[in-house]
Amino acid sequence: MSKFENFKTELFSAAKKKGFSDWEVYIKQIKSSAVVLANDEVIECSIAETADALFRGTFNGKMGCASSQEITADSVPFLVESASQNAGIVEDKDITPIFAGSESYPSVKTYDESIDDYSQKKQLEIANALNRSAKKYDKKIQAIDRCCIATETGEVYIANSLGLALSKKSCEALAYVEPRAADESSTKNGYNNVWYGITLEKFEAEKFGEEAAERAISYLGAKSVKSGRYKVVLDETVAGDFLSTFFSVFSAKNAQKGFSLLAGKLGETVASSIVTLRDDALLDYRSGSTPFDGEGVACKNKTIIENGVFKTFMHSLKTAANDGVAPTGNGFRDANGQIFIAPTNFYIAEGTKTLPELFESAKDGLYITSVQGLHSGANPTSGDFSLSASGFLIENGKKTTPVEQITVAGNFFDLLKNIIEVGVCTLTKEGISSPPLFISEINVAGE
């Protein structure tokens, strides 16, 4: 039995007495812990816990909502009274009726009990080990500007008057380090030094620190290149950043509102034939995995693009009803209880080529390892982007000198069609991710 059962029982009893015809409670509780070092000193040791209860129900024929950060008997009168007073005040066309539940729910492992072993003392030990390994790697490492180890555990509970009662526990972990390298000519920080996982059990602090230090050193002496059209290999972190920025084009809500150029293109070729894009909610021990979404709809693994052909949008209950299709389990709730469409484990299926083999295929071009300005320099509606970037030259099939002060520009939909080869993943498919991608050409502005 969920620890929220007693609260639910009192809340539902009060809702019935008040005169609600149906009702639902959505509870989310999160516990987080973080240790942050800067220049070898501990600057943060934090533990936080948040809990939110959203109550909604139909009162006098209209939907009313209320929320509380207290999940106690004392908050029950407030939730019921506030929801009854709010009923019908705001006319929200996106409000969906109370959902009775899916026929069945899948089983997926979303919680690793080993995360309970990582006290702040242990997190500090790992942070110190990460900090030391990066700093001692080479004399060119001048300092470690920031180093962080963090964990988070959460629990979600949904229940309603139609008999739905669902709960799940989840967890995730993060490690981050920022080494600063310097030589006679320049100073550089490493890029993409973030590790994600569901627990710290498999995190190798010493190895990760050394790799981060090597990346920082590798950027020393970076220069710009001449403007032109270049063959480009996108680092898997950068490719994942593109997916994260433009995933909204696969949202049925955006398509129905005219904010996605994919509207009306189901069944059409929208990407290279070697591209398969998936949204898999049922991968064991992945941070994006979940057996149900924020509306109580059962989640599933699904293909968004198959061999270049667009197969489905991501749907909530409301958008699915509008299109006359089944919901896909992608309706989630924000802090105010509003439904938004989001992916689970959203990724391009990996290919067979290693990164060096992608360089060999490109012969000459650019290896992009970092982009900046995704929020301001990318337009998810049109697909256009213009982003500051850095990386390395590819010459004669090999990664060579570092490159900076360039801008890459193009269109996300063209990028999907211009993927020549898909590489092998070296990172875990956590949330939104991608293998490295070889793109036939991208506009580059440099010297």
Alpha carbon of 92 to those of 86, 254, 315, 325, 432: distances in Å?
12, 16, 18, 22, 30
Same domain, 209 and 235: no
Task: Supply the pTM of this predicted model.
Answer: 0.94
297: pLDDT strictly greater than 60: yes
Same domain, 125 and 226: no
In this prediction, residue 94 carries a pLDDT of 61
Which of 186, 216, 246 is where one domain is finished?
216
The stretch 320-346 carries a mean pLDDT of 93
Q: What is the pLDDT of residues 165-181, one digit of tens each?
A: 999 999 999 999 999 99
Dist. CA 252–CA 235, nearest whole Å: 29
The stretch 46-63 carries a mean pLDDT of 94
Q: What are phi and psi of 280, to 5 degrees?
A: -110, 105
Which of 161, 184, 216 is where one domain is finished?
216
In this prediction, residue 92 carries a pLDDT of 62
Same domain, 295 and 309: yes
Same domain, 297 and 399: yes
Dist. CA 23–CA 58, nearest whole Å: 7
Same domain, 336 and 310: yes
In this prediction, residue 338 carries a pLDDT of 86
Judge whether 169 and 153 are in contact, CB under 8 Å: yes
Indicate the number of domains in the chain. 2
In this prediction, residue 90 carries a pLDDT of 66
Same domain, 77 and 11: yes
In this prediction, residue 190 carries a pLDDT of 75
Domain that residue 402 falls in: 222-447
Judge whether 24 and 11 are in contact, CB under 8 Å: no
Same domain, 50 and 170: yes
**Tokens, residue 417:** 């069609």
Same domain, 209 and 271: no
CATH code of the domain in which 91 resides: 3.30.2290.10
In this prediction, residue 1 carries a pLDDT of 47
| pLDDT higher at 24 or 190 | 24
Instruction: Tell me 360's DSSP state.
Output: H
Same domain, 259 and 390: yes
Sorting pLDDT into bands at 50, 70 and 90, what band is 238? very high
Across 84-88, 94-98, 151-155, 193-197, least confident range = 94-98
336: pLDDT strictly greater than 80: no
88: pLDDT strictly greater than 90: no
**Tokens, residue 163:** 């008999």
Same domain, 245 and 204: no
Pairing of β 165-182 and β 437-445: unpaired
Dist. CA 340–CA 353, nearest whole Å: 36
95: pLDDT strictly greater than 90: no
Number of CB atoms found within 10 A of residue 6's CB: 13
Same domain, 204 and 305: no
In this prediction, residue 80 carries a pLDDT of 97
Q: What are phi and psi of 247, to 5 degrees?
A: -60, -25
Sorting pLDDT into bands at 50, 70 and 90, what band is 427? confident
Same domain, 136 and 201: yes
Instruction: Name the packing angle between helices 120-135 and 205-218 (round to 10°).
Output: 40
In this prediction, residue 426 carries a pLDDT of 83
Across all residues in the chain, what is the average pLDDT?
Answer: 94
Dist. CA 336–CA 28, nearest whole Å: 12
In this prediction, residue 91 carries a pLDDT of 66
Contacts (Cβ under 8 Å, ≥6 apart) of 95: 63
Which of 170, 192, 216 is where one domain is finished?
216
SS3 content of the chain, % helix, strand, coil (to 5): 25, 40, 40
Judge whether 222 and 211 are in contact, CB under 8 Å: no
